[in-house]
Amino acid sequence: MDEHDEFRELCAISVSGELTPDETTRLTEHLRTCDSCEKALHQYRATVLSVVPQLAVEGMPPERGAASSWEVKAAETALFERLKTQEHDE
C-alpha cells in the first residue's frame, strides 16, 4: 500500500463526514500538492451525489408507498447540504 492508497481511503471516508480532525488536516495538506488524490475526492463526491440517492430509492421497501418519496427528498436535501458544508470547510 503506497501513501496515495491511504489518502484515497481518507477521501472516500471524508464524503461521509467521518474523518477525525487529524485525518482532515492530513488529507487537506496532501490534497494541496496531489492532483491525483484531489481528483479521487471529486469522484467520490460525484458518486455520493449521483449514485447513493438512487440506491436509497431502489432499496426502499414497497410498503412505504408515496410517503417515502418525501422521506427520500428530505434525506437527499440533508446530504447535499452536508456535502456543501464540507466543501466550504476544506
Indicate whether 70 pLDDT > 70: no
Q: What is the pLDDT of residues 26-59, one digit of tens each?
A: 999 999 999 999 999 999 988 888 876 777 666 6
Long-range residue pairs from 1-10, CB within 8 A, at least 24 positions apart, any chain? 4/34, 4/36, 4/37, 7/31, 7/34, 7/37, 8/37, 8/40
Give pLDDT, residue 29.
96
